[in-house]
Structure formats: C-alpha cells, structure tokens
Amino acid sequence: MATADLTKKAPSSSGPPPGLAQVLAALRPNQVVSGNVMRLIIAVQSALALLAWWLVPIAVLPKPDEVLAALGRLWMEQGLGPELITSFGLNLQALAITAAISLAFAYSTVVPAFRPIVAAASKGRFLGLIGLTFVFTLMVGGGHTLKLWLLVFGMSVFFVTSMAAEVEAIPRENFDHARTLRLNEWHVVWEVVILGTIDKAIEILRQNAAIGWMMLTMVEGISRSEGGVGAMLLNQNKHFHLAEVFAIQFLILSVGILQDYGIGVLQRLVCPWSFLQKERQK
C-alpha cells in the first residue's frame, strides 16, 4: 500500500517540467500563459533588442550609453523636465476635451437627425492638420490655444469614428431587454448606450492618448512659444544631434507607456467585468 502511494506521488519523468512547459506553451497559438511567464518573455526580448542595438554596427545610430549621456545633458542643462511637464499637461487637457466632445457626438447617434453630422465629422480623419493650421489660427488664435485645438481635432475625428461604431454595434437584444423593464427611451440610452459601453469608451480613450503623443511634435513645432518636448525634439533634429533625438524619443515613449498603463488601471477599477472572459487572460 505504501509502495503504491509513493508511486502515485512520484513526479512523472516524461515531458518538460511545469515552468518550461508554460514557456513552451507561449510558442503555440491560442495559449494562456501566466503573468510571470509573460514578464520573463518581455525581459528576454528586451535584453536581446538592447544587445542587438549595442552590437549591430550601424554608424548613424547612437549607442545606448550615448543616449543616456544625452538624456542627462538635456535634463540637467536644457530643462527637459519642465518641457516634459508642459507637453504632458497639453496632452491631458486635449485628451479631456476630446473625450467630452467625442462621446457627446457618438452618443448623439441614437437620434437619427444627428447621424449625418457624426458621419461627416468622422470623415475629418482624412484631413491633414498642416492644411488646417491657418483655419484654426483664424478661429482660435495662436500659442497654447492653437496647439490645444489642433490636438483636439486630430484625436476627436478618430475617437468619434471608433465610439460611434461601438454604439452602432450594440445588439438589439440589449435595447429590448431594457424596454421589457418599462424604461423610457432616454433611460434606455443611459443604461444601454452610455453605461453599457463605458469600458469601450475608456479603451478608445487609451488609444487616442497615444495618438496625441504621436501628433505632439507636429503641433508644438507649429507654435513654439511655450516650448515642450516636441519643440525641443525638432531643434535637436535640425542640428542632427541624433543622441539627443533618441533620448527625447525614448522619454516620450516611456511617459506614453506609463500613461497607457494608468488608463488601463482606471479601466480595471471602473469596469472590472470587461476583463472577466477574455481568451488571452487567465
């Protein structure tokens, strides 16, 4: 009996150990891996990318140590910190206005009379901001206001398009269920359209925050009165200071990733149900 129990408890010699099995599972499609395994994969891939950057002989690219040295010079000598605060504040302000305007437009599509206006607004994503700069200057003036509304326009046209599509994709059954509860149509809009898509709205907000950082250099280059990391990046690029250019780019990337993570945490806090049954989450 004791021998049988020991035989049952003995680990099987066939197959990889549990830790290696999870790592190998990451190489097969539609597998769910633990957070620790995913962190290990990210660490290995990051180390390989850094090693390749250091060893690959591309003369025009600065090495990691040169980028770090340039970042220190920019931070200590040229005021990169205050410039970053200026740009981050501009991005947050534009993001708040974009969310308010875009959600109002997207939710208004429940009223048929507003659908053509929203459809026309969504087509604005094909317009280049450079061609609209003069129009916006006449409308709102220059300086901070010009940069703000260029960013708002550039993000809103994409936000409206994505959010209106989410509202349109709400199943009819959701509306019928709300009506069986004897809710009037405006109450149905509140429960089904607004509260029912709040997780999608935060996710679209997260995506458009990244679009704002991508457009930041352009709008801060149009109006440099307040400075900002975009204006500093253009100045360094003009003088071919590649180490400084890479340093600013990596700083923008780092801040953008932190902001993206923060919005993701907000989404988990406000809408925890949206993460319950996802295929790639344990």
pLDDT in tens, 247-261: 999 999 999 999 999
pLDDT score of 4: 47
Give this prediction's pTM.
0.79
pLDDT score of 2: 46
pLDDT score of 7: 45
Whole-number Å distance between alpha carbons of 206 and 164: 16
Instruction: Write b or e for each residue in 212-222: b if 16 or more Cβ atoms lie within 10 A of its Cβ, otherwise e.
Output: bbebbbbbbbb
Q: Dihedral, CA atoms, 37, 39, 45, 48, nearest 10 degrees?
A: -110
Residue partners of 54: CB distance under 8 A and separation at least 6: 63, 64
pLDDT score of 128: 76
Whole-number Å distance between alpha carbons of 45 and 42: 5
Which parts of the chain have pLDDT scores under 50? 1-13
Question: What CATH architecture does domain 64-275 belong to?
Answer: Orthogonal Bundle (1.10)
Are the CB atoms for 215 and 229 separated by under 8 Å? Answer: no
Which amino acid type is present at position 220?
A: E
pLDDT score of 141: 81
- φ/ψ of residue 20, rounded to 5: -65, -35
Whole-number Å distance between alpha carbons of 265 and 23: 26
Domain boundaries, the chain: 8-55, 64-275
Whole-number Å distance between alpha carbons of 177 and 161: 27
Tokens, residue 193: 């359209």
pLDDT score of 1: 45
Are the CB atoms for 22 and 37 separated by under 8 Å? Answer: yes
pLDDT score of 3: 47
